[in-house]
Amino acid sequence: MIIPNRAVQILLGVTLLASFAHAQADKIVPGATYIRDATMTTRDGVILVMDIILPKGDGPFPVMLWRNPYNKDGVTNGEARQFVEAGYAAVSQDTRGRFKSQGVWDAFRYERNDGYDTHEWISKQPWCNGSIGTAGGSYLGFTQCISGPEAHPALKAMVPEVPWGNTYRDCLYWGGAFRLLLATFWGSTQQLADVGKPMPDFSDGKLFRYLPLRTWDDCIGEPVPYLRDWVAHPTHDAYWRDHEVGDRIENLRCAALYIGGWFDIFNRGVLEYWSAARTRAKDPEAREKQFLIMGPWAHGGTVEDGKVGDLNFGPQSNLKKTRTRMAFLDEYVRGMDTGFSQRAPLQIFVMGANRWRDEHEWPLARTQYKNLYLQGEGPANTAEGRGKLDWSAPIEEGRTDTYVYDPENPVPTHGGPLLWVTAGPRDQSAAERRPDVLVYTSDVLTETLEVTGPVRLVLHAASSARDTDWTAKLLDVFPTEDGKGVPYGIAEGILRARFRESDTKTSLIEPGKVYEYTMDLGPTSNAFVPGHRIRLEVSSSNFPRFDRNPNTGHDFGADAETVKAEQTVYRDRARPSHLVLPVIGN
């Protein structure tokens, strides 16, 4: 995955403005009072710095808050304006250890308590009327999600965009595999910005290949302590407690409007957070005030013309975010009747059908889980192979597919839910020409098949290694005149063999022994329409979205060298590997 360095710089700019603000210092709200670099002190004595904007009038006012690691000035001079013009006071704060705020920058760790302390401080100011709303995307969404369940009485509503709530499972690890691109690119660039050093060149992909991972920061010449901590804790252990919501979701009391995307890197996290809030919050009223909008977007959010990746979902996929968000906040922060409470709690965009639909739970209650079995009369290697997907279970014995996984020649990441300029549904034809990619394809569909929900793969497989990875992609094959079709990735996942039973305790595998692996491919909503085909790719790498498994079985992050692994996938009567699709009837 090599892209021009200019594109990487543009992406970094997006991450540094993850509040989705457009900083325009010359746009000062007429009549508003600007209090720059105000300070507050947290419970452990750290001084946090913020800008405060008070609208015209005597006050007190409802307050909008952004807690931002990417420089408070971007919100102060940008996104805050629309709220101040609407009569809200606005507070934009540098999070701990960032820009003008004091303390140590340790990503994710302090946001729960610092968020609550900020709510407490604001609630006691004479310009606050006792009602606080919060906003922001990505990390700013996380700062809301982790502090919201602390249930400060002044916090009335939050709008987390493309957020997550549990950092280990939703952000840094998936199926035991390390989200290398996100962790190293985002983690290192934030640290370098913090110490005033230039961004390294990620454009040719060489930095992602550096081993051992436990000392990856050596390759950028700047220690990143929290990055080393993430690698040192590959299981879901006590280290992650300060980085996640966990059972505290039960204490959530405020209203919330979550905005997520099917191709956002945190797609699974936002759905799980919303679903937990809707079903586990102790306060029945709070449950009814949880809303989620899931569209066909990547991490940057809604797109006006509807084009995401290589596909165009039409202008109807564009969310009128400003209007929607304001209607929600006016109702739940200001107590106005905007009619927002009458909306369905879940709005999803069904790709393929390219339309919005109201729902009430996740997964959908009417879901029928159907198995689509891996079959074929010959080897499934490459798209030219003979791999098939069939609704009938296999009846033969001894059917297998084999390939060699070489960590020095991994399958390149191209598209999917990731923090990169190539995110979104992308043509996977290049990957399907590789012999280490197994390809299984259904017959041409004669009726629409809607797949909405979490997708799983049950894989029966053996490896020559003591530990290895299994990867999978669900694809929608669009028809072409030559009959080959173009495969676009819809959902994908990974499972590290030693994590097959649990993410809290690992167990190596016995070389040559067949194991059953249940792999999470994440959530989607896609209508496979007549003329299209359903496809599955199986391999052992998706790099650099995930780190390369060196196949040694050694402690995570320790290896500087790798070995090849001979992989065997079973698809016979005794070991029927299969997709589990969440099918929704018409």
Domain locations in the chain? 5-176+234-359, 368-584
- Read off the pLDDT of residues 146-179 as tens digits, 9 standing for 90 and up: 999 999 999 999 999 999 999 999 999 999 999 9
Find all residues with CB under 8 Å of 26, minimum gap 6, and list them: none
Tell me the residue type at 123. S
**Burial zone of 408 (CB within 10 Å; 0-12 exposed, 13-18 middle, 19+ buried):** exposed
Q: Catalytic pick from 236, 299, 460, 532? A: 299
- Read off the pLDDT of residues 452-491 as tens digits, 9 standing for 90 and up: 999 999 999 999 999 999 999 999 999 999 989 999 999 9
pTM of the model: 0.95
Concerning whether 540 is annotated as a catalytic residue, the answer is no
Q: Mind spelling out the 3-state secondary structure of 97-131?
A: CCCCCCCCCCCCCCHHHHHHHHHHHHHCCCCEEEE
Question: Cα separation of 157 and 552, whole Å?
Answer: 49
Concerning whether 299 is annotated as a catalytic residue, the answer is yes
The topology under which CATH files domain 368-584 is Jelly Rolls (2.60.120)
**Mean pLDDT across 333-349:** 97
Q: Catalytic pick from 264, 427, 469, 547? A: 264
CB distance 483 to 514 below 8 Å: no
Q: For the chain, report the end-to-end CA distance as a whole number of angstroms.
A: 39
**Mean pLDDT across 523-547:** 98
* Helix, strand or coil, per DSSP, at residue 378: coil
In the chain, the percentage of residues whose pLDDT exceeds 90 is: 91
Instruction: State how far Cα 56 lies from the chain centre.
Output: 39
Q: For residue 285, what are the CA distances in angstroms to 127, 252, 559, 576?
A: 28, 10, 51, 45
Q: Catalytic pick from 101, 138, 317, 463? A: 138
Report helix angle 225-232 to 187-195, nearest 10. Answer: 160
Is it the case that residue 569 has pLDDT exceeding 80? yes
Concerning whether 460 is annotated as a catalytic residue, the answer is no
5-176+234-359 is classed CATH 3.40.50.1820: yes
